[in-house]
């Protein structure tokens, strides 16, 4: 939590020792099944199996990823009316039902089916918002770090399981049967919310009291000088992970075959990224989340130098990709730590503020993918990882200087006081 800043006012029944941060590996699962497993994973394969042109399939997938960028528009509702864990279970049930109906349509590419999947993805983002609000209630900084690691590794694991199951069973099973599998994968993990500590909704007080309380929390989080470097942390290029989706396209330039890409960027890639996420929990808690995030970001940028400077051979691709995926997993886990540090305590508006911060964090993925692609077009294969590495390292170094010197300044002021 930020030094001297806390918006946490809720009384929690569970002490820090019983906050169960591992639960977040299950709580995020419904959203991961939809966004990573279905939309970003298996859907393009299923569409191609129905004879949909890859260009149209890509357009459909691009449209269905939109909710993950704009969910701050409706995510804040999870702060109101009922408890966040209730929102998580209700949103999961609604998403499961919506996608089940979508899979019972004859064509996945039809406008009606795409609209249903889009609606299901919107329900899924309520799970993300509710998770963010619940993580913000964790009192222990150690548990916050662990929650971030479990959150990211669980998301990747359930996404990978969904892709594997849907692709493997797309031949023998009808779409309707696969719809039931998707619904179960979404709804079942959400029941873990029953084990999460209960949290009071914002609407338990009068409307005027609630509005005043929420405004104070927003001011404490966003309207302060320290919010500027935190905003730069989540919007600067380091740790964007944009290269994850670009590495498979780069493989041919290093003489890597399609099967090898499927292995290193597929199953092995998920294992490496999830392992990296869990490894972030080993970073000493005395290292503040922003500093740890930036240090890991520098290491991640350095791994791209393997691809940028090494000869265009398969072993260089395997080594660079493996190192990149492992370190980007740690980056993702520490990013969640940074978001929670920026957020402070959840208070009554934790889901709203988490949604805004997390949505800002999706911007670097988009603009870095574009810049990396332009680098390839102008200067060739090695320029793609080189551009990502240089921009990431420069941004991380700049912010690292700020946070290190700011930490020292605060320490000196504390001693003088």
Phi, psi of 248 (to 5 degrees): -60, -35
- Domains located in the chain, CATH noted: 15-198 (1.20.1250.20), 208-417 (1.20.1250.20)
Q: What is the pLDDT of residue 5?
A: 42
Residue 351 has pLDDT above 60, yes or no: yes
| Per-residue pLDDT at 255 exceeds 80 | yes
pLDDT, mean of residues 189-210 = 74
Residue 396 clears pLDDT 60, i.e. is over it: yes
* 48-75 confidence digits (pLDDT tens): 889 888 778 878 887 888 898 889 899 9
For residue 378 the two structure tokens come to 């102008």
pLDDT at 14 over 50: no
For residues 114, 41, 361, 250, the Cα torsion angle rounded to the nearest 10 degrees is -120
Dihedral sign, CA of 285, 338, 264, 309? negative
Q: Tell me, what's the pLDDT at 10?
A: 41
How high does pLDDT run on average in the chain? 86
| 18 class by beta-carbon count within 10 Å (0-12 exposed, 13-18 middle, 19+ buried) | exposed
* CA–CA separation, 144 and 280 (whole Å): 12
pLDDT in tens, 140-150: 888 888 998 89
Residues in CB range of 411: below 8 A, 6 or more apart: none
Average pLDDT over residues 351-360: 89
pLDDT, residue 12, reads 42
**pLDDT confidence of residue 9:** 38
- pLDDT grade, residue 159 (50/70/90)? confident
On the question of pLDDT at 389 being above 50, the answer is yes
Could you read off the pLDDT of 67-100 as tens digits, one per residue? 988 898 999 899 888 899 999 999 999 999 999 9
Provide the residue count of the chain.
Answer: 417
pLDDT at 127 over 60: yes
The residue among 147, 178, 141 whose CA lies nearest residue 163 is 178
pLDDT of residue 201: 64
**Whole-angstrom Cα distance, residue 163 to residue 59?**
19
C-alpha dihedral (279, 400, 371, 68), degrees to nearest 10? 60
């Amino acid at each position: 939590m930020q030094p001297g800043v806390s918006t946490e006012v809720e009384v929690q029944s569970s002490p820090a020792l019983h906050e169960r941060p591992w639960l977040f590996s299950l709580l995020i699962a419904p959203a991961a099944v939809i966004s990573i497993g279905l939309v970003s994973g298996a859907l393009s394969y299923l569409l191609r199996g129905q004879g949909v042109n890859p260009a149209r399939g890509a357009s459909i997938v691009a449209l269905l990823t939109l909710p993950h960028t704009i969910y701050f528009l409706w995510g804040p509702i999870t702060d109101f009316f009922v408890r966040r864990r209730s929102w998580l279970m209700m949103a999961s049930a609604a998403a499961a039902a919506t996608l089940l109906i979508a899979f019972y349509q004859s064509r996945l590419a039809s406008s009606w089916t795409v609209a249903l999947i889009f609606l299901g993805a919107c329900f899924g983002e309520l799970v993300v918002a509710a998770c963010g609000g619940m993580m913000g209630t964790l009192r222990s900084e150690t548990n916050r770090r662990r929650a971030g690691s479990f959150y990211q590794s669980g998301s990747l694991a359930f996404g990978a399981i969904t892709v594997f199951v849907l692709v493997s069973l797309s031949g023998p099973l009808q779409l309707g049967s696969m719809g039931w599998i998707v619904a179960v994968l979404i709804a079942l993990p959400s029941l873990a919310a029953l084990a999460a500590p209960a949290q009071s909704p914002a609407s338990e007080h009068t409307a005027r009291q609630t509005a005043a309380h929420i405004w104070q929390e927003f001011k404490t989080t966003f309207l302060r000088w320290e919010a500027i470097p935190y905003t730069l942390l989540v919007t600067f290029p380091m740790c964007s992970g944009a290269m994850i989706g670009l590495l498979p396209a780069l493989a041919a330039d290093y003489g890597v075959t399609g099967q090898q890409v499927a292995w290193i960027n597929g199953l092995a890639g998920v294992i490496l990224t999830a392992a990296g996420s869990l490894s972030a929990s080993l970073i000493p808690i005395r290292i503040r989340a922003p500093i740890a995030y930036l240090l890991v970001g520098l290491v991640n940028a350095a791994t791209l130098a393997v691809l940028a400077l090494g000869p265009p051979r398969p072993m260089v691709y395997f080594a660079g990709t493996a190192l990149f995926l492992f370190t980007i997993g740690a980056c993702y886990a520490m990013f969640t730590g940074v978001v929670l540090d920026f957020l402070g305590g959840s208070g009554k508006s934790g889901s709203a503020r988490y949604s805004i911060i997390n949505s800002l964090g999706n911007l670097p993925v988009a603009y870095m993918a574009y810049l990396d692609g332009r680098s390839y077009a102008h200067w060739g294969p090695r320029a793609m990882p080189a551009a990502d590495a240089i921009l990431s390292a420069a941004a991380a170094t700049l912010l690292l200087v700020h946070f290190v010197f700011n930490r020292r300044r605060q320490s000196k002021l504390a001693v003088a006081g």
